[in-house]
Structure 1
Amino acid sequence: MKGSLSVPQGAALSIGAVLGTGVITLPSLGVQVAGPASLIAWIALVILSIPLAATFATMGARRPDGRGVSAYVDDAFGSRAAGAVGWCFYFAVPVGAPPASLMAGAYVAEAVGGGRTTAVATGVCLIGGVGLLNAAGLRLSGRVQLALTAVLAGVMSVAVLVAAPHASTALLTPFAPHGIGAIGAAAALLVWGFAGWEAIAPLAGDYRNPSRDLPRATAIAIVVVGVLYLALAAATVLVLGPGAAHTDAPLSALLVAGLGGPARIVTAVIAVMLTFGAMNAYFAGGSRLGAALAADGALPAAFAKGSQAGGIPRRSLALLTGLALASLIANEVLSFDLTQLMLLATGCFTAVYVLGTAAAVRLLPRGGAAWWTALIAFVSVCALLVMNGPHVLWALGAAGASLVYRAIRRETPVTTTLQATDQSCAEEASPAG
């Protein structure tokens, strides 16, 4: 695809990278955290997407590099910081997989019954199934991934349209039942649905004319993603009202409001397919990243097997799968709220954004429009990281652990082997966003 990517194709890939599994549950979680005021958090994140996506588009157009964020972080701050980005991504996967799988499980439980038992069983099957699929060397094609995203966008549109006649502005009151401060907490959680803008940069070299086409494709993606998210969030608040906080399947509830009960089965099937595809992308990219880190001494050498071109990183994959299942079990045994693991994952995504935008601020010509845009994005994502609260310790711990491990091992920088891996991670993944 090098040099052949058109603006519509690039926009579709960028939209696919951002739209993800979070949208099937996030609207109700936003209401749960902040009530109707969660709409402000949605609007704020759509606005934040403009400088954030524009920054990655600018960096990609100026220096097309398949490593994407890690390349800019390496150039700006060195290999240790680039390695920290790798650890943040790798250890976001096992804490992000349980919430993603349980979101799909909620739709299955809504359709067939069984409550929490059905949801957890679905989660175990999804995590185990994705692990086995990748261990066998199989994977869903990019076209299938993109088709699944197109289906999701279609379902979102239909849900909003059929539920719209049932909307009522009276459901906007009380607007902030949990206080204004809850808007920040909701924003930190909703980052899950916006992870994926970093995928713009690695695609730059595939455009026919990166400096012209990349900004256009990015602009289209921002508009489409913003409209879909805001429409769905508004429909959830105006149609479901306070009841949205008590359902784990808002898309299903909206479709049922407009089409009736049979819509539950359809949305359950779509939710499982979408989640499987998104998790497959993250496990495939994450396992290769882990093997690459191990090959360069940033993880124990035992996990490096399969890091070569065409290899299957089964040991790294087994680690990810085992950690994901352990996270799911811990979530059930300790009765964590679904949002807790999501916040751990979004903290990692936000940390990657902080390092990426900081690199842009350092590398772009100071004082120019692009530099100011990057600075705005950097300040905004730093604020999001703070709003993540104590959950940011997972991201900081992963970054810190990478530095400690490198200091102990005294090995060579990790960025060389990460080139192909980071590109595949960015292009394939976004179950959050």
Structure 2
Amino acid sequence: MSGGIGTARGVVLSVGAVLGPGVLVLPAIAVRVAGPASLVAWAALLCVSALIATSFAALGARYPDAGGVAAFTRRAFGARAAAVVGCWLYTAVPAGVVAGSIAGARYTTAALGAPSAVTGVTAAVLLGVVYAANLVGLRLSARLQLGLTGVLIAILVAVLTVAGPHVDPHRITPFAPHGVAGVGSAVAVLFVAICGWEATANLSAEFTHPTQVRRAAIASLTIVAVLYTGLAVCTVGVLGDDAGDTTVPLMRLLAPADHTWAATIIAAAAVLFTVAASITFVAASARAGMSLAHHHILPTILAVTGHDAEPRRHVLVQATAATAIAGAAAAAPHTITVETLMRVFAAMLACVTLAGLAAAARLLPRPRQRAGAAVAALAVTVVATLSTAFLLAPAVVAVVVLARRRPAPPTTDPPSSAGNGARPDIRDGTHVDPVTALGGIR
């Protein structure tokens, strides 16, 4: 697709990826485990989020490629490491999308007071919308997400406007009732809230000019930081200790307005947060799959695209996997829970993010950029260790990938995700294809 993403659409996709359905419940859960000290966890993670976003933006601007973090990893550490990273993202997304759809559906039915039986149907509809949007192509899905993201930002602003005047400073004491351990638990819980930057890295080759990658990252980071900070402060200052006792904390924040439309607004927010984030993750995963197929890590038949270079075969593969996971979750709801799927997803993405930051620390030209990436990598390592047993999921994927025979060299003249083939390599001004610029499988 030629010239598919400008700065505005890049901001939309980035904000939509980071502001996922977790924002509906994570601030309240963080207050439950850490008390008002959850604000410290938020501050720390937003600082880490800034380092992650700027590191990936710098890599994407310098090395635009649909392979995203996997492509960066290939440049820094070789083909086999890149194969593992690409498969982490590719296998993580179906689980995360299903978890988000179920969580969003539950929130919607709770906000509207609908029967619990409606939850499954709502989740299925959300999944259908997400994959259908990606089947029509990135250009149309980005237009859809432009509207979705604008509405959900407006909803959050409305919530903060209503709740802000009711913040009570007395609710901030005692500040750390659960000590340092509580803050650590809050960090582990909230890491899901800053996931998304690694997904937008896969869209770097879709931008019309590499400089737009940085601009989109800075703008989206600003929006995310402002909204998350406001939501965290309002959750602590308005709900206090009661935050963790409700399944619909945003509804409670709107309670002072005492309007009958509050339930409808929150139900809409649940749907929009779920769909907006999932669209970007599926788009990123499909493009990662294209890179994996091109390098013979996935079947080469999946490297085929239509006339518009959209990876629809990978979208269908992802949809099939998500359907299977959703069916298993419906059949065994007490075993395959939303929390389990979300924590597997978070563990996978933590590993993807860590690999990307390690690549940034090695590849970026400026010492300040490398230092920022190294600091972020250390922070993500600490967070990843908090995933404990859920790290088995990325470990299993890594073992399976590394046990395969060494993949063949990439196919000749791969389809460009940007549609126009060559892109300027800003290192020397020459024109190189965004995939073959990786130098192939070594």
- TM-score under structure 1 length normalisation: 0.82
Alpha-carbon contact 1:306-1:312 (below 8 Å) kept: no
Q: Quick check: 1:108 aligned with 2:104?
A: no
1:30 counterpart = 2:30: yes
Please report the RMSD computed on the Cα atoms of aligned residues, expressed in angstroms: 3.3
Which whole-Å deviations, capped at 9, do the CAs of 1:39-77 have from their partners, x for residues lacking one? 221111111122222212222333333433222101111
Q: Distance in 2 between matches of 1:419 and 1:85?
A: 21
Relative to structure 1, is the Cα distance of residues 328 and 413 closer, same or farther in structure 2, using a 3 angstrom cutoff? farther
2:258 matched to 1:250? no
Match of 1:322 in 2: 323
* Change in CA separation of 1:143 and 1:315 when aligned onto 2, cut-off 3 Å: closer
CA distance 1:318–1:66, change in 2 (3 Å) = closer
Structure 2 CA distance, aligned partners of 1:415 and 1:261?
59
Q: Residue type matched to 2:207 in 1?
A: D
Partner of 2:173: 173
Distance 2:411 2:356 in 1: 15
Q: What is the alpha-carbon distance in structure 1 between the residues aligned to residue 415 and residue 333 of structure 2?
A: 34
- Structure 1: which amino acid aligns with 2:233? A
Task: Flag the 1:160–1:388 CA change in 2: closer, same or farther, 3 A.
Answer: same
1:235 aligns with 2:231: no
Render the CA deviation track for 1:400-422: whole Å, top value 9, x for unaligned: 22222x23xx432679979749x
Q: Is the CA contact 1:252–1:264 (under 8 Å) kept in the aligned structure 2?
A: yes
Assess, with a 3 A threshold, how the Cα gap between structure 1 residues 114 and 190 changes in structure 2: closer, same or farther. same
Contact 1:135 1:317 in 2 (8 A): no
In the alignment, structure 2 segments of 5+ residues that lack a partner are 419-442
Structure 1 residue 321, shift from structure 2 partner: 2.3
* Alpha-carbon distance between aligned partners in 1 of 2:335 and 2:210, rounded to the nearest angstrom: 52
**1:426 alignment counterpart:** none
- Residue of structure 1 in register with 2:42 after alignment: 42
**Counterpart residue identity of residue 245, structure 2:** H
1:346-395 alpha-carbon deviations (Å, 9 max, x no partner): 11111111111111222234x82222122112212111211222222212
Structure 1 residue 379 corresponds to structure 2 residue 416: no
The residue number in structure 1 matching 2:423 is none
Q: When the two structures are superposed, what TM-score results if normalisation uses the length of structure 2?
A: 0.80
Which residue of 297, 305, 309 corresponds with 2:305?
309
Shift, 1:85, TM fit:
1.3
1:12-411 alignment runs, 5 A limit: 12-114=12-114, 116-127=116-127, 130=130, 133=132, 141-198=141-198, 199-200=200-201, 202-203=203-204, 206=207, 208=209, 210=211, 214-283=213-282, 285-286=284-285, 289-290=288-289, 293=292, 297-299=296-298, 301=299, 307-310=303-306, 312-313=312-313, 316-326=317-327, 328-329=329-330, 332-334=333-335, 336=337, 338-365=338-365, 368-404=367-403, 406-407=404-405, 410-411=406-407
CA distance in 2, matches of 1:84, 1:389: 20
Tell me the number of residue pairs that the alignment of Structure 1 and Structure 2 aligns. Answer: 410
SS in 2 for 1:181: helix
Comparing 187-196 and 276-285, the one that deviates more: 276-285
Q: Following the alignment from structure 1 to structure 2, what is the Cα–Cα distance between the partners of residues 129 and 113?
A: 23
Distance 1:223 1:394, change over 3 A: same
Indicate conservation of the 8 Å contact 1:288/1:307, yes or no. Answer: no
Retained in 2: the 8 A contact 1:25–1:103? no
**For residues 4 and 144 of structure 1, do their structure 2 counterparts lie closer, same or farther at Cα, with a shift above 3 Å needed?**
closer
Q: Deviations over 1:310-345 (max 9, x none)?
A: 274276235412333145336623374x43322211
Equivalent pairs: percent with the same residue?
A: 35
Contact 1:97-1:127 within 8 A present in 2 as well: yes
Alignment check: 8 A CA contact 1:59 1:360 kept: yes
**Cα gap change, 1:308 to 1:321, in 2 (>3 Å):** same
Corresponding position of 2:435: none
Contact 1:298 1:414 in 2 (8 A): no
Taking the aligned partners of 2:236 and 2:206, their CA distance within structure 1 comes to 41
Residues 69-93 of structure 1: CA distance to partner in whole angstroms, max 9, x if unpaired?
A: 2221011111111111121112212
